[in-house]
Amino acid sequence: MTIQKPVFVTSAIPYVNAEPHLGHALELVQSDAIARHQRSLGRDLNFTSGTDDNSLKNVRAAQALGTTPAELVARHGADFRRLAQALNVVHDDFIHTASDARHAPAVHALWQRCWDNGDVYKKSYRGSYCVGCEHFLRESEIVEGGCAVHAEALEVLEEENWFFRLSRYEKPILRAIREERLQILPRERKHEVLQFIAGGLDDFSISRSRARAKGWGISVPGDDTQIVYVWFDALANYLSVLGYPNGERFQRYWQDAGERWHVIGKDIVRFHALYWPGILLSADLPLPTSLRVHGHITNQGKKIGKSAGNAVDPFRLVARYGVDAVRYYLLAHLHTTKDGDFREDLLRTAYSSELAGKLGNLLQRVGALVERHRVSIVTADLDAPLCEVAQQTETRVTRALDEFALHEALRAIFELVAAGNRYVDASAPWSLAKSGDVPALEHCLSSLVHVLRVTARLLAPFLPTTAHEIEARLEPRPRLGPPLFPALARE
């Protein structure tokens, strides 16, 4: 018997310079679906997230509001925790990098490992800096004098910082990616990273002057004039949340884990595919095994963002449509790895037509027929073609999850629901009941109950509340209940 090793799943930790928006909700529910699926397989899993507190963006946001960075990150950090709870995202741990006592010691320990290996040195540097990205841009990355992602103007900075010898690890990183020891999904993101490496990996600054950071952040060990660069700080959260450099959880879920997965947005691939592996190699620590890179949510074609002024409030959507309807829209109607435009009218349509009209309707029809005609539900002698569709669906869902195509998994599940509804129409169980053909009625309804049970099991990682309610309605025997998705009140 093969013993499965532990799995570590993380989402990125976002900046907390403003309230969370729908883009943050997308990554939370994607990573939660992955974690729930792994748990359903019986895997020993640890699933974490948190907030990225020690950034210049947070300092400037606090200044603009006339408050302190500590107060700002505490307030917005609580908002991000609240968002995870509102979306029914179940973390094993959640870290705030400014206030969690585990974090600074872990950052210092990681820095020391890199220092001891000769990969940290000091030099003067001048370059164009994007505060939104929190990094210096190459000349080839500057578009019309600015950043392609963020609207704010670039800042030309010149100062003496500590640097990390990323160039030393160019070949090992390249081998890890090519050999799929560091898997990057989807493949186009892998190709982008390989193209970037082909241009050569430069050493990068891993500190900022205390003056420019306004004293906010973690001090560089042995140099109080410098603050640890936010990305070195932030990436270390994947270790600090596990108790690095010591502790059973760090050993279990990083050192000895069979899988280490980061679910991230496409705009931070470089940091996770290049900077993070370089730091880990320097520190003689295992690399992540997979980067699962999602697209962005757009609003009228523009990326949703705090600075863009087009953010969509996820709390309002959950209050209006319910948590599983929002999860369904994000996971099923937005392509997992490509950009997708948010449209509330499509969310309403998905709620009414697909969740209520297809899934809810199938459960109501089957529950009503079983309850009315008191049919015995059996697990043998089921409709072979319908059971074959259910089995094929299970295979498709597993493959889609493995390929980080969550939208494809939900498409397959709802095609099974559609097959169930077609089977009801074609079999006409009400006619079978009227004719008194009890064996045929039992065969028909038992087959439909089987489909609903499979549907509930497959839906559980994506729509956990809905899946639980379906299972509850089917056991110990199917029964009629209130609509899974009641009609929406008029706004």
Q: Do 285 and 351 share a domain, yes or no? A: no
The identity of residue 370, as a single letter, is V
Helix (H, G, I), strand (E, B) or coil at 287: coil
150 is catalytic: yes
214 is catalytic: no
Contacts of 373 (CB under 8 A, 6+ apart): 433, 441, 445
Spell out the residues 6+ positions from residue 221 whose beta carbon is closer than 8 angstroms to its own. 108, 111, 112, 115
Q: 100 lies in a domain?
A: yes
- Is 21 among the catalytic positions? yes
Interatomic CA distance for residues 157 and 56, integer angstroms = 14
Options 262, 306, 407, 450, the catalytic residue = 306
Q: What is the tens place of the pLDDT at every residue in 433-476?
A: 999 999 999 999 999 999 999 999 999 999 999 999 999 999 98
**In this model, does residue 367 exceed pLDDT 90?**
yes
Report if residue 334 sits inside a domain. no
pLDDT at position 134 over 80? no
Q: How many domains does the chain have?
A: 2
Same domain, 166 and 74: yes
CATH (domain of 430): 1.10.730.10
Asked, for residue 236, whether it belongs to a domain, the answer is yes
- Once rounded to an integer, what is the mean pLDDT over residues 175-199? 97
85 and 233 inside one domain: yes
Tell me the percentage of the chain whose pLDDT exceeds 90: 85
Indicate whether 443 belongs to any domain: yes
Examine the residue annotation and report whether 306 is marked as an active-site residue of this protein. Answer: yes
Locate 188 and state its tokens.
């186009």
E runs forming strands in 329-463 = 340-341
The dihedral sign for the CA sequence 199, 203, 207, 212:
negative
Domain that holds residue 154: 7-294
Which of 21, 76, 103, 135 does the annotation list as catalytic? 21
* Residues 233 and 165 placed together within one structural domain of the fold: yes
Q: What is the pTM of this model?
A: 0.93
- pLDDT category of residue 301 using cuts at 50, 70 and 90: confident
Looking at the domain assignment, is residue 331 inside a domain? no
Catalytically annotated residue among 150, 296, 333, 407: 150
Q: Which of 103, 147, 443, 450 is catalytic?
A: 147
The residue annotated as part of the active site, out of 190, 303, 333, 407, is 303
* Three-class SS state of 4: coil
Tell me, what's the pLDDT at 306?
Answer: 63
Residue 366 has pLDDT above 70, yes or no: yes
Instruction: Establish whether the linkage from the previous residue to 314 is cis, with ω within 30° of 0.
Output: no
Please state at what angle helix 361-373 crosses helix 438-459, rounded to 10 degrees.
Answer: 140
pLDDT at residue 414, as a whole number: 98
Domain boundary among 294, 316, 331: 294
Q: Which of 270, 294, 318 is the last residue of a domain?
A: 294
Confidence of residue 152 (pLDDT cuts 50, 70, 90): low
96: domain CATH number is: 3.40.50.620
Q: Are residues 224 and 362 in the same domain?
A: no
| In a shared domain, residues 121 and 193 | yes
Task: Say whether 24 is catalytic.
Answer: yes
Q: Do 274 and 361 sit in the same domain of this protein?
A: no
- Is residue 454 one of the residues assigned to a domain? yes
Q: For residue 162, is it within any domain?
A: yes
Residues 136, 258, single domain; the answer is yes
Residue with tokens 């009140």: 489
Work out the mean pLDDT of the chain and round it to a whole number.
Answer: 93
- How confident is the model at residue 236, as a pLDDT? 98
Mark whether 78 and 217 lie in a shared domain.
yes
The answer to whether 266 touches 296, Cβ cutoff 8 Å, is yes
Per-residue model confidence (pLDDT) at position 154: 73
Catalytic residue among 130, 272, 296, 444: 130
Q: For residue 150, is it within any domain?
A: yes
Q: Are residues 33 and 179 in the same domain?
A: yes
251 and 370 both lie in a single domain? no
Beta bridge partners of 94: 49
Which strands, in side-by-side order, build the sheet including 297-299? Answer: 302-303, 297-299, 340-341
At 307 the pLDDT is: 64
Tell me which H or E stretch contains 387: helix 384-402
Phi, psi torsion values for 408, nearest 5 degrees: -70, -35
Question: Could you tell me whether strands 259-265 and 219-220 are parallel, antiparallel, or unpaired per DSSP bridges?
Answer: unpaired
- 277 with 379, same domain: the answer is no
Q: Which of 261, 294, 327 is the last residue of a domain?
A: 294
Question: Which one from 37, 103, 108, 133 is the annotated catalytic residue?
Answer: 133
Q: 17 near 131, Cβ under 8 Å?
A: no
